[in-house]
């Protein structure tokens, strides 16, 4: 959905505060751009990768199993299956559940496209469900009306890092004998009623992209307590072949069989070594993200025109994203497009998460989706902005964000 360009006024028509904006030639809050997310790489990460580069195994080696074991323990799951990225994790989860042409899977509208694409890869149909207006998480009460005889699963997305209402979703899922897949790509390190994300769904998927909580460069993981599903996923990530190179090496055998159509979705030992090093710092990184969020929360109570998303009391938010909503009634003639450009000019590498999936041209063309299908998500999209949020941000960085948001929004009042 293309946005209109911001309104440009001649100097004589500008408000006094607008003249101070960097967008109109004023001095920016920051001279260097502060991204919305960024990885943290330390010497111990480099050393861990270097050790693997000097070893006999760069892929399909012992570090893969070791990373899976450590990750499963971290999220209190029995099994973890490493794959090459978060999208592959979702695709692999759908394969494990046996999704096939004609099957329907319920997906929230407010998410990245991969949450729905993984269903399409197997010939299924994503059925888009609207979101709660306060949290932008899937609205559990609206799931029920989306269920049909063709429904085979529910994908719940822990948007921004806040776990969904899994008790209520589980009630609905159990009533209809449906598995829950937790798309937890934003939420590693979070909890729901003291249960860690990664243990909340039948299958739970993660991403290790550089902007996520930990990184392997690119990478993903699926966790489960079901050993049979874990076996199917390990098969799928390795071309549908029953053994990998390490297993054949240990057995002194060359023989293998392809028993299903799979993909090369393997994660390398190099990446797994980085992931194992990173996951050691997970608690500290989550603590820092939550501290940054607290500073934002306090400051934004004093700035009119913006509102952070609601956080429910029963969760520990992992804060992959910090999302604010703009109040169009207070910001008057200025829309999100203007404020986005103005904040970028002040040195904030802000972003928008996300265009509701059903509004993308692919889904409108191939599945007949349209505006009005999920009105809460569509309305929210017009007014949300993701602010910088990553553990390496200093308190001065946080102050710069708050200062820039205050400067830009007050110019619009």
Predicted confidence band at 17 (pLDDT cuts at 50, 70, 90)? low
Q: Give the mean model confidence (pLDDT) for residues 54-76.
A: 97
Q: Give the mean model confidence (pLDDT) for residues 391-409.
A: 98
Across the chain, mean pLDDT equals 94
CB-based burial, 36-45: b 16+ in 10 Å, e otherwise? bbbbbbeeeb
Strand, helix or coil for residue 289: helix
The reported pLDDT for the residue numbered 12 is 42
Reported pTM: 0.94
The reported pLDDT for the residue numbered 413 is 85
The reported pLDDT for the residue numbered 2 is 47
The reported pLDDT for the residue numbered 299 is 98
pLDDT in tens, 84-109: 999 999 999 999 999 999 999 999 99
Q: E strands within 346-383?
A: 348-349
Please give the radius of gyration of the chain, using alpha carbons only, rounded to the nearest integer.
23
pLDDT of 7 strictly over 90: no
What are the Cα distances from residue 103, in Å, to 94, 97, 106, 268?
11, 11, 10, 33
Strand, helix or coil for residue 12: helix
Q: Which domains does the chain have, with CATH numbers?
A: 11-36+282-411 (3.90.1150.10), 43-279 (3.40.640.10)
Predicted confidence band at 254 (pLDDT cuts at 50, 70, 90)? confident
Dist. CA 234–CA 218, nearest whole Å: 18
The reported pLDDT for the residue numbered 330 is 87
Beta bridge partners of 385: 324
- For the annotated catalytic residues, the residue numbers are 212
- Average the pLDDT over each of 110-124, 169-183, 202-216, 327-341 and give the range with the smallest value: 327-341
pLDDT of 253 strictly over 70: yes
Higher pLDDT: 332 or 173? It is: 173
Dist. CA 182–CA 199, nearest whole Å: 9
The reported pLDDT for the residue numbered 248 is 66
Neighbours of 165 (CB within 10 A): 20
Is residue 6 within 8 Å of 341, Cβ to Cβ? yes
């Amino acid at each position: 959905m293309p946005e209109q360009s911001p309104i440009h006024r001649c100097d004589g028509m500008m408000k006094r505060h607008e003249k101070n904006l960097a967008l109109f030639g004023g001095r920016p809050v920051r001279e260097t751009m502060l991204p919305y997310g960024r990885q943290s790489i330390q010497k111990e990460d480099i050393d861990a990768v270097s050790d693997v580069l000097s070893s006999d195994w760069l892929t399909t080696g012992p570090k893969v199993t070791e990373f899976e074991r450590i990750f499963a323990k971290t999220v209190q799951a029995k099994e973890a299956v490493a794959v090459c990225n978060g999208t592959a994790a979702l695709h692999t989860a759908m394969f494990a559940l046996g999704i096939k042409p004609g099957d329907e899977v319920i997906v929230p509208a407010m998410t990245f496209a991969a949450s729905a694409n993984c269903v399409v890869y197997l010939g299924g149909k994503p059925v888009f469900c609207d979101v709660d207006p306060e949290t932008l998480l899937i609205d559990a009460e609206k799931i029920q009306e989306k269920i049909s005889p063709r429904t085979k699963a529910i994908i719940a997305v822990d948007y921004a890092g806040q776990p969904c209402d899994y008790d209520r979703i589980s009630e609905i899922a159990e009533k209809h004998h449906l598995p829950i897949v937790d798309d937890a790509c934003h939420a590693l390190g979070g909890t729901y009623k003291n249960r860690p994300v990664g243990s909340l769904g039948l299958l739970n998927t993660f991403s290790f992209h550089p902007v996520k909580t930990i990184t392997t460069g690119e990478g993903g993981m699926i966790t489960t307590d079901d050993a049979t599903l874990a076996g199917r996923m390990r098969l799928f990530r390795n071309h549908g072949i029953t053994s990998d190179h390490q297993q054949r090496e240990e057995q002194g055998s060359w023989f293998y069989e392809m028993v299903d159509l799979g993909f090369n979705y393997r994660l390398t030992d190099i990446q797994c070594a980085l992931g194992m090093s990173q996951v050691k710092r997970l608690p500290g990184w989550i603590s820092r993200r939550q501290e940054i969020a607290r500073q934002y929360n306090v400051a934004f109570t004093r700035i009119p025109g913006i509102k952070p998303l609601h956080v429910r009391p029963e969760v520990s938010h992992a804060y992959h994203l910090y999302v604010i909503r703009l109040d169009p009634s207070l910001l008057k003639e200025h829309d999100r497009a203007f404020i986005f450009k103005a904040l970028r000019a002040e040195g904030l590498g802000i972003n928008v998460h996300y265009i509701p999936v059903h509004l993308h041209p692919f889904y409108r063309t191939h599945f007949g989706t349209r505006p009005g299908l999920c009105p809460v998500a569509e309305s929210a999209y017009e007014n949300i902005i993701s602010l910088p949020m990553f553990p390496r941000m200093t308190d001065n960085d946080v102050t710069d964000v708050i200062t820039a948001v205050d400067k830009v929004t007050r110019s619009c009042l």
